[in-house]
Amino acid sequence: MDRIIYLDHAATTYTKPEVLKEMLPYFTEIYGNPSSVHSYGRETRKALDLARERTAKALNADPAEIIFTSGGTEADNLAIIGTATANKKKGNHIITSSIEHPAALHSCQYLEKNGFQVTYLPVDEYGLIDPQDVKEAIKENTILISIMTANNEIGTIQPVREIGAIAKEKGVLFHTDAVQAVGSIPNDVRDMNIDLLTLSAHKSHGPKGVGALYARKGVRLNHISHGGAQERNRRAGTENLPAIVGLGKAIELATQDIEARNEKLRALRDRLISGILSSVEYTRLNGHPTKRLAGNSNFSFEFIEGEALLLSLDMKGIAASSGSACTSGTLDPSHVLLAIGLPHEIAHGSLRLTLGDENTEEEIDYVLEVLPQIVQRLREMSPLFNQDKGGKIYV
Amino acid sequence: MYSEKVMDHFMNPRNVGEIKDADGIGEVGNARCGDIMKVYIKVENDIITDVKFKTFGCGAAIATSSISTELIKGKSIDEALKITNKSVAEALDGLPPVKMHCSMLAEDCIKAAIEDYRKKHLKTEVNTSAKESVE
């Protein structure tokens, strides 16, 4: 292979040329402030409205329900902290899961430090949340349920519709972080009883640094940053117009032909999964075998560490990611892998390969050719390998 | 983020393996934290004549293991004991700040192997002298 095989689409994607093309005039030619009254302002206001319409359409929402933010992280913060503080008089209890993205988890932890109570629901071995657990966790003072649509590490897709129905029945707000899901599975906020939904542009071939929060009409939401009256007084600050234009276009493209794209992705993913599981012993697939994002695969290779694996793959021209402590910048491996019951040492040896539209069968076959050799080389260096050879694989 | 030297020692690690009749063995770290290093040394006349290692860990852990075995091979025990995490990191043209603890692993492991050798060696010496005095 003379080029780099990019298998880290869950981290970010390239901006599609047609998306960039729509963005470019808003840097140099059409640069008015959408809040201005004059013609410059009116022109950018039009672009802002179009992006809002496109985003709303992708979710079956109303344009007035879309709030543009600086990305998924800000949207999660706004959804969780904004609704919790606005509904404080109703109660102070929040339900979330133990496998949320740090943007949601840390927002909940921040609220805990400020007098809120948070229930972190467990998941099963596949990373699935049991809707019954959500139901049983609801108390009189519960004001918000925040459960991600699909997990960023292991790709498991949650029973969002069931959770939405429970939330509606109990009169509790339901937020879902759909950053990984938008463009991969349909997200109909009306049909699924979703009150708040987080999305991001750069996971779906849009630019980085822009995202959106859908907040159903009537949901009380406090500011988390203070200043102007932009975004119907829900998010202060001059709009990042070129990025928002890019988001609108990217989301529009990403939510078209989902099934056709998924079919291709699933075939590649399953070729990769079965190839790795059959050629590398002491390996497991993390996440659900079928209820997972079409482009996601996540493995644990026993006796070796994930960063060493990433460096070795990088030397062979393959870009991937891992949930090992060494790649997270903390001493603990991924909280998601620990939550599905993996012991620390197995969690350290994880590898996430996430596929995108441009990946080919030839690329997958190249990965299947070099990965077993890399794992073998690292295992031969590992003091754990011989000790445990013939031992039981953790499943 | 890694120097060329780190990548070289990671991709082509020196002295990987085990020594069956090692004079000293050191093992530090634990799987929970994501790094374990095991070092085997062979000592003749107070000189480390051979050294091998096995490491479970990240790129920096493998590279520091490799370079530390090079640093002590052919050295006297006293010289080998002068190894520090700083000298390990310097020999690799530096490590990223978050990876400095990996060089601690190498220093601790070399010292553990030498300590193991001294314990065994001291015992043999005592036994030999005890035998001699009986004779």
Report if residue A395 sits inside a domain: no
Together in a domain, A263 and A187: no
- The CB-based long-range contact list for A102-106 (8 Å cut-off, 24+ gap) reads A103/A72, A103/A73, A103/A76, A103/A77, A103/A177, A103/A198, A104/A76, A104/A80, A104/A146, A104/A148, A104/A177, A105/A335
Interface touch A308/B58, C-beta < 8 Å: yes
Interface touch A383/B34, C-beta < 8 Å: no
Q: How far apart are CA B58 and CA A325, in angstroms?
A: 9
Interface test with B, best of A315, A382, A385, A394 (most B CBs within 10 A): A382
What average pLDDT does this structure show over A170-193? 97
The better pLDDT of the pair A332, A235 is held by A235
Residue of A nearest to B17 (CA): A381
Together in a domain, A238 and A266: no
The pLDDT tens digits of the residues spanning A112-156 come to: 999 999 999 999 999 999 999 999 999 999 999 999 999 999 999
Q: Would you call A63 helix, strand, or coil by DSSP? A: helix
Together in a domain, A237 and A262: no
- The whole-angstrom distance between A306's CA and the closest CA on chain B is 7
- Please give the pLDDT value at position A392: 40
Residue B132, pLDDT above cutoff 70: no
Which band of pLDDT confidence, cut at 50, 70 and 90, is reported for residue A395?
Answer: very low
Out of B102, B109, B112, B114, pick the active-site residue.
B102
Interface touch B34/A329, C-beta < 8 Å: no
Instruction: Supply the CATH number for residue A274's domain.
Output: 3.90.1150.10
Together in a domain, A78 and A221: yes
Q: How far apart are CA B81 and CA A251, in angstroms?
A: 61
Which band of pLDDT confidence, cut at 50, 70 and 90, is reported for residue B38?
Answer: very high
- Please give the pLDDT value at position A330: 67
Which of A254, A288, A308 terminates a domain? The answer is A254
Distance of CA A58 to the CA centre of its chain: 17
Interface touch B57/A331, C-beta < 8 Å: no
Together in a domain, A96 and A161: yes
Interface touch B34/A326, C-beta < 8 Å: yes
From the CB of residue A233, how many other CB atoms can be counted at a distance below 10 Å?
10
Q: Which amino acid is it at B70?
A: E
Report if residue A301 sits inside a domain: yes
Q: Does B63 touch chain A (CB under 8 A)?
A: no
Together in a domain, A84 and A209: yes
Together in a domain, A283 and A325: yes
What average pLDDT does this structure show over B65-85? 96
- Please give the pLDDT value at position A310: 95
End-to-end, the C-alpha distance of chain B in Å comes to: 63
Question: Is B33 an active-site residue?
Answer: yes
Which band of pLDDT confidence, cut at 50, 70 and 90, is reported for residue A389?
Answer: low
Which band of pLDDT confidence, cut at 50, 70 and 90, is reported for residue A394?
Answer: very low
Together in a domain, A37 and A185: yes
Q: Would you call B37 helix, strand, or coil by DSSP? A: strand
Q: Does B31 touch chain A (CB under 8 A)?
A: yes
- Point out the residue among B31, B33, B54 whose CB comes nearest to the CB of A381: B54
Positive or negative, the CA dihedral A383, A388, A389, A392 is: negative
Structure tokens given for B113: 């192997």
**Percent of chain A with pLDDT strictly greater than 70:** 96
Report if residue A393 sits inside a domain: no
Together in a domain, A243 and A268: no
Q: Does B104 touch chain A (CB under 8 A)?
A: no
Q: List the one residue out of A279, A286, A264, A268 whose CA is nearest residue A352.
A: A286
Interface touch A303/B56, C-beta < 8 Å: yes
Burial label, A345 (beta-carbon count in 10 A; 0-12, 13-18, 19+)? buried
Report if residue A333 sits inside a domain: yes
- Please give the pLDDT value at position A72: 98
Number of H helices, E strands in chain B: 5, 3
Q: List the one residue out of A379, A361, A382, A373 whose CA is nearest residue A313.
A: A373
Q: Does B39 touch chain A (CB under 8 A)?
A: no
Report if residue A34 sits inside a domain: yes
Together in a domain, A135 and A180: yes
- The whole-angstrom distance between B92's CA and the closest CA on chain A is 17
Which of A254, A276, A297 terminates a domain? The answer is A254
- Please give the pLDDT value at position A74: 98
Question: Where in the sequence is the domain holding A309, given as residue range(s)?
Answer: 258-387
Report if residue A76 sits inside a domain: yes
Q: List the one residue out of A284, A299, A294, A279 whose CA is nearest residue A353.
A: A299
Instruction: Supply the CATH number for residue A89's domain.
Output: 3.40.640.10
- Please give the pLDDT value at position A325: 72
Report if residue A11 sits inside a domain: no
- Please give the pLDDT value at position A387: 52
- Please give the pLDDT value at position B122: 77
End-to-end, the C-alpha distance of chain A in Å comes to: 34
- Point out the residue among B13, B31, B59 whose CB comes nearest to the CB of A384: B31
The pLDDT tens digits of the residues spanning A299-332 come to: 999 999 999 999 999 999 999 999 877 666 666 7
Report if residue A166 sits inside a domain: yes
Residue B131, pLDDT above cutoff 60: no
- Please give the pLDDT value at position A43: 96
Together in a domain, A114 and A146: yes
Residue A13, pLDDT above cutoff 70: yes
Q: Would you call A244 helix, strand, or coil by DSSP? A: helix
Which band of pLDDT confidence, cut at 50, 70 and 90, is reported for residue A8?
Answer: very high
Residue A48, pLDDT above cutoff 80: yes
Residue B123, pLDDT above cutoff 80: no
Q: Of the ranges A44-48, B89-93, B96-100, which one carries the lowest mean pLDDT score?
A: B96-100
Which of A254, A288, A319 terminates a domain? The answer is A254
What average pLDDT does this structure show over A173-180? 98
pTM, to two decimals:
0.93
User: What's the structural domain count of chain A?
Assistant: 2
Residues of chain B contacting A338 with CB distance shorter than 8 Å:
none
Helices (H), chain A: 17-23, 25-28, 39-59, 72-86, 102-113, 131-137, 160-170, 230-233, 241-254, 258-279, 306-315, 325-328, 335-339, 344-347, 361-381, 383-388
Together in a domain, A333 and A219: no
